Structure 1
Amino acid sequence: MKKIILVLMLVLSSFSFSKQIKVGLILAMGGLGDKSFNDSAYAGLLKAKEDFNIDIKYVEPNTWMEDAFYLEEYSDNGFDLIIATSYTAQSAMEDISSKFPNTKYAIVDTVSKEGGNIASLVFDEPEGSFLVGAIAAQMSKSNKVGFIGAIDIPLINRFKDGYEQGAKYINPNIKVLSSYVGGDAPFNDPIKGKEHTLSLITQDVDVVYHASGNTGTGIFQGIKEKGIYGIGVDCDQDNIVKGQVLTSMLKNVNNAVYKVIEDTVNGNFKGKVYTFGLKENGVGTTNFIYTKDIIGEKNINKINAIKNDIINNKIKVKK
């Protein structure tokens, strides 16, 4: 009997030491419901919770200044992994992570110092944007396509530059007109998004691609109203205006969030740069569910060929 009790005690003690991993997610400005960047990150968190039985918590900051507050709070409360989806959290994360060397951190869209306890999750936006730029050029009748960015910063311009390269690959004479939302809420200002869209349309732009988070909802209102084409970003936004949103440049933040959680759970976390491009399924296009017939099989085959050529280094995308 004593042996049985001892065995039971050993079994129970082993369960008590099986610690449930705690993961905290700090979303970017705009929060959930953006049908874009934040929704994708959250989807990755939920999938990881289902697959790995982790304990999760997320927060939607009202301002960029709150990043440091939540990083400190999660660190103080013993979270194993803390993920920030906004590049604005980099400085605060580098500072706070040095105070909590046993806590793991991950940041999206910016590169932190390597070799520590921060994983940098970055995407090859130019590769994915090259593909949608090629589609825009295929579908433009005016030989003028547009890009609307939230703000004029290197990260947003990675979308623009890839888009322009792809458009000019198809049509070297095409013009790419760019516009930036700016203001106090550049990633969450649908009214300004629509205004910028209508302004581009007055300049004969007939396809508009955006990298502006929830501001894109206003951009899509503009393309619907004026009957031109749009291109979504980050998540599959094709169903927002069916038949007019040609495709979306998928930025699979969900895959990146899932990957860093999986590595943490399996003890494989590394303080390094993780890059997600076409080859890693980090970026790409949608499956053209609503626009397959509109774009046409010939054009879609051309896009698939371009994708393969980029992956195989036959086409060099400037970054």
Structure 2
Amino acid sequence: MRRITRIATVGIASAALALSATACGGKKSSDASSSPSESGQKSAAIAYDIGGRGDQSFNDAAYAGLKKAETDLKIKTSEAEPTDGEGEADKVQRLTELARKGNNPVIGVGFAYAPAIKKVAPKFPDTTFGIIDDTSVTGPNIANLVFNEEQGSYLAGVAAAKVSKTGTVGFIGGVEVPLIKKFEAGFTQGVKDTNPNAKVLSAYLTQPPNFDGFAKPDLGKAAAQGQLDAGGADVVYAAAGLAGSGAIEAASAKGKWAIGVDSDQYNQAGLAKYKDSILTSVTKDVEDSVFNLIKSVEDGKPTTGEIRYGLDKDGVGLADSNPKYKEMADVIAAVEKAKADIIAKKINVKTAP
């Protein structure tokens, strides 16, 4: 089943509703009225990763970039949602339809789109295809939007080690794949460099080809409860997309700290009731990466090849929205020093545990 939605005016409240719908196992969308080629207007499109829009994390960051392009560049935008249990053929069909409708660029949100983009991009040489978090598929009309997640996660490890009172912290990965291992590696190194005696509990929710670990909050909640109760952790960092919201809920219920991911989760409407427990978030500037690619196409100079975002370009970082975090002068000082040392290459952050 394929679903494509043209954005009209959608705010954060709609994203919150989408979160609820996803948690219940279903989503609704409306059909696009007319294609960009039919209307003569320019349009850009994104195809969401597992969890879809409303995950308060990765997909919502991509949506923010699309919405910014719609507002600032005065273009039409289209979205395509994933379906439960879909395969590569579904992704191929989704990207093909978006390209046929005249969208340019067409952006796949997440590494899972790599095989589909490899098949579809050569058939539309005049369309720029973007893929986030993947460098395995390349081509003259493909832009690889990638991030140094390990660097941002290192900073989270520094913060976690500084605030932990038990000396034990937890890491939860959605699915055990190389991308998520970058988060674990950086986080663990940051913790250990700050407190060599600290203990890091690591858990993955699912193994490929099961990607439910990015989509089901109950899995994240159960894993976090185990680390908090049996493991004695008092800080939990989850890199698990929508499933990470369950880990945040569990930490909040225990009066412990959670560290968010991808978006500044302290400011996500769907997580408002847990926000006092969100110490900080490891941010990835997915929003600007999406907007910048769309703008490059609109300017007539489409960017292709690897486009990397690291600490040196503020492409990854650590959010400071929580007022409690802003009061932690010693934590902030340690994080800022670590950031400077990484940028200066005094610290080499590992990309594998």
Structures share fold, TM-score greater than 0.5: yes
Paired residue type of 2:329: E
Give the alignment partner of residue 247 of structure 1, picking from 269, 280, 284: 280
- Displacement, 1:115? 4.6
Alignment of 1:124-143 (within 5 A): 124-143=148-167
* CA–CA distance in structure 2, aligned partners of residues 313 and 250 of structure 1: 20
Retained in 2: the 8 A contact 1:20–1:53? no
Paired residue type of 1:297: A
**Aligned: 1:312 with 2:333:** no
Retained in 1: the 8 A contact 2:92–2:119? no
Give the structure 2 partner of residue 287 of structure 1. Answer: 320
Greater C-alpha radius of gyration: 1
* CA–CA distance in structure 1, aligned partners of residues 339 and 239 of structure 2: 21
Alignment of 1:143-292 (within 5 A): 143-182=167-206, 185-201=212-228, 202-238=230-266, 240=271, 241-292=274-325
**Aligned: 1:300 with 2:305:** no
Change (3 A) 1:115 1:26: closer
Retained in 1: the 8 A contact 2:70–2:77? yes
- Displacement, 1:92? 1.0
- 1:142-199 deviations in whole A, cap 9, x for unaligned? 1111001111110111111010111111011211111111155211211111110111
* CA–CA distance in structure 2, aligned partners of residues 36 and 89 of structure 1: 18
Give the structure 2 partner of residue 79 of structure 1. Answer: 103
Retained in 2: the 8 A contact 1:112–1:118? no
- Displacement, 1:282? 1.2
- 1:244-303 deviations in whole A, cap 9, x for unaligned? 211000111101101111111112213200001111221101124332366x11221221
Change (3 A) 1:273 1:148: same
* CA–CA distance in structure 1, aligned partners of residues 149 and 252 of structure 2: 26
Paired residue type of 1:233: V
Give the structure 2 partner of residue 55 of structure 1. Answer: 76
* CA–CA distance in structure 1, aligned partners of residues 50 and 175 of structure 2: 13
Change (3 A) 1:293 1:85: closer
Matched positions, count: 300
Retained in 2: the 8 A contact 1:238–1:290? no
Change (3 A) 1:179 1:51: same
Gaps of 5+ in 2: 1-39
Q: CA RMSD in A?
A: 1.5
Alignment of 1:9-20 (within 5 A): 20=41
* CA–CA distance in structure 2, aligned partners of residues 125 and 311 of structure 1: 14
Matched residues, percent identical? 38
Report SS of the residue matched to 1:30: coil
Paired residue type of 2:283: L
Give the structure 1 partner of residue 13 of structure 2. Answer: none
Gaps of 5+ in 1: 1-18
- Displacement, 1:79? 1.9
Retained in 1: the 8 A contact 2:158–2:334? no
Give the structure 2 partner of residue 34 of structure 1. Answer: 55
Segment drifting more, 222-231 vs 284-293: 284-293
